[in-house]
Structure 1
Amino acid sequence: MSTLTPRVVIVSRRSELDELLARHGTRGAAAFFLRQRGRDLAEVDERHQALRAALTEVGAAVPGDWRRGHVERADLPRFLFAPEDVVVAVGPDGLVANVAKYLDGQPVIGVDPEPGRNAGVLVRHRPGAVAGLLRSPFATEERTMVAARLDDGQELYGLNEIYVGHHGHQSARYVLGVPGADTVASSMTPSSAGSSVGSTVAAGGRERQSSSGLIVGTGTGATGWCASIALTRASAPGAPAPQDPRLCWFVREAWPSPATGVSLVAGVLDGRDELELTSESERLVVFADGVEADALELSWGQRVRIGVAGRRLRLV
């Protein structure tokens, strides 16, 4: 057991005002840019001040004998979290998802700097509540995560979803393997010309596809990207709950042709079940929770397996 005092790591992202000043240089230039788009610098500045105030209050809540750290979202791939860390994410719900992929059991306190503006699903606490939370035993809710594992040993984790597709979001070509899907091996799919072509599903549930990507989501992410896809599918699988050890998956815009099929386009993964995707494109990418800058790459013939992660988010 570690004898180190806990370290509170505050995670934040740059405000819109910070981004505008980095791009335009001065407040006057930023104000002019916003006016051209029907917006007011005062509103952006108000949100900036709310974030600053929340960070100040959270920082003051850290006990004096505890260690502390601060990392911005853009630097998360290069930050090393320790087992004894307590993570405080100050920002929108998506910030918790951004940091979750880099953690392995550390508790996360989500703090909403703008109550009423964020959904508050993952950032459940006000800044003033942090002092009491840090001084009390943590009651946490464990949320299922999704993991992608390449055949060369690289791994990637996500709280909401993992995407596999072409790096330029063009058509991706691959072979998809789905557990328990061999019953659809003889199905027929309509071609774009109105005739029917035999499905390319082989025994054992493997299908050669051309699509705009595969998305595998958790119960937490089922209300986001996966939900927007499910709305367009008459027979979409039911979404799992955030704590369920299940995943839902969707293939986007699968293209039917004599060489590619559309039989395996959605489903649910239970327990230890995994999807297997073998690349037939020169460069496919795998990224989690919309962070394309931190992606794994698949070359021709490489395989990736996607399933329920062994780790979970511990949300306070």
Structure 2
Amino acid sequence: MKIEYAIIIKNKTRLESLIERFNTKAQAQFYIESSGGDFQEYVAEHEKFCQSFLEVQTKLSKVIKNKVLEREFMPSYIFSEKNLIVVIGQDGLVANVAKYAKNIPIVAINPDEERYDGVLLPFNVKNFLNGVNAVINENFSSKKMRFAEAVLNDGQKLLAVNDLFIGISSHSSARYKLMLNGKEETHSSSGIIVSTKTGSTGWLSSIFNMAYGILGSKKLKYPELNDEDLYFAVREPFKSKATQTDICGGILKKGNRLIIESLMPNNGFIFSDGIEKDFLQFNSGATAEIRLSDEEAVLVIN
């Protein structure tokens, strides 16, 4: 199908968010500097992004019609098969976009290679047109990213490219019942992380980094995941007369399902890919089935 136009998706810079919070740049600067922060780092980051964004839009406009979509409006935007999605930002933005892309090819650009790791950003502002032209000519290489999904007993569903968090929206303990492979436990913990292979270098890695620091790297082996594997880890499980800690982590192979029943009267929630605004309520009476989704995202590669 012929691509008619591109959708450029971006997010606010940290400086833009600060100005939105404090009304003016001067007030934002006063707040940061009075707290001992380096305001010029926010400015430099913002200016670099704006420079990269302008270069991307200028180059893209010579190839295909396009329009800009801010991340905050993405959940209500209806993408078409005639679209090409161009993401410019950090890795987390790509993960968030992928959940709404519906198999539409994504060209992801790293606007600031000195600041951003770019695990999900195969292109930069100099070479991204290679990916754009390849998609237009229907001759592109891609990486398929499998989603994890949480499906509630009322039919609601949430997808994640990187990871799901199941827990409580506060610093109190999450209470739930966990069921896996015929075994069942009642837990009190800081919540559960479920990671895909794509996301295994993110939040999940921080859990292993903490464990390495406490126990020593020789005591643990980082999980080697296939594209169709998920890995779950229970954060800070508490053992008591009423709660157990035997099921605290492991690989979920394709076809395996982790069942979690909420025992939280309020504030229980599930969110994905680090975006807390993208969540499902998970309170008493709700049961979530965690599994590998049949859906996948298409990330164009160089």
Q: TM-score range by the shorter chain?
A: 0.7 to 0.9
Structure holding more helix per residue: 2
Please name the residue that 1:224 is paired with: 202
- In 2, Cα distance between equivalents of 1:167 and 1:106: 33
2:274 is equivalent to residue 306 of structure 1:
no
Please name the residue that 1:211 is paired with: 189
Give secondary structure in 1 for the equivalent of 2:140: coil
Please name the residue that 2:115 is paired with: 117
What's the CA shift for 1:269?
Answer: 0.4
Q: Determine if contact 1:146/1:308 at 8 Å carries over to the other structure.
A: yes
Distance 1:44 1:302, change over 3 A: closer
Distance 1:131 1:77, change over 3 A: same
Distance 1:73 1:256, change over 3 A: same
Taking structure 1 as the reference length, the TM-score comes to: 0.84
What's the CA shift for 1:240?
Answer: 3.7
Name the stretch that deviates more: 228-237 or 286-295.
228-237
Please name the residue that 1:266 is paired with: 249
Distance 1:156 1:44, change over 3 A: same
In structure 1, what residue type is equivalent to 2:241? P
What's the CA shift for 1:167?
Answer: 2.4
Q: Determine if contact 1:219/1:239 at 8 Å carries over to the other structure.
A: no
Identity %: 30
Please name the residue that 2:15 is paired with: 17
Determine which structure has more spread, i.e. the larger CA radius of gyration.
Answer: 1
Question: How many pairs are equivalent?
Answer: 289
Pairwise CA RMSD of aligned residues? 2.1
Give secondary structure in 1 for the equivalent of 2:197: coil
- In 2, Cα distance between equivalents of 1:122 and 1:269: 23
Give secondary structure in 2 for the equivalent of 1:217: strand
Taking structure 2 as the reference length, the TM-score comes to: 0.88
Please name the residue that 1:255 is paired with: 238
Q: Determine if contact 2:162/2:196 at 8 Å carries over to the other structure.
A: yes
In structure 2, what residue type is equivalent to 1:82? S
Correspondence 1:1-316 to 2 at 5 A:
5-62=3-60, 66-136=64-134, 137-179=139-181, 204-231=182-209, 232=211, 238-241=222-225, 244-283=227-266, 284-316=268-300
Gap regions ≥5 residues in structure 2: none
What's the CA shift for 1:98?
Answer: 1.9
Gap regions ≥5 residues in structure 1: 180-203
Q: Determine if contact 2:3/2:84 at 8 Å carries over to the other structure.
A: no
Name the stretch that deviates more: 266-275 or 218-227.
218-227
Distance 1:57 1:236, change over 3 A: same
- In 1, Cα distance between equivalents of 2:37 and 2:236: 36
Give secondary structure in 2 for the equivalent of 1:293: strand
What's the CA shift for 1:96?
Answer: 1.0
Alignment deviations for residues 112-140 of structure 1 (CA, whole Å, 9 cap, x no partner): 11122111211121112222321122211
Q: Determine if contact 1:218/1:240 at 8 Å carries over to the other structure.
A: no
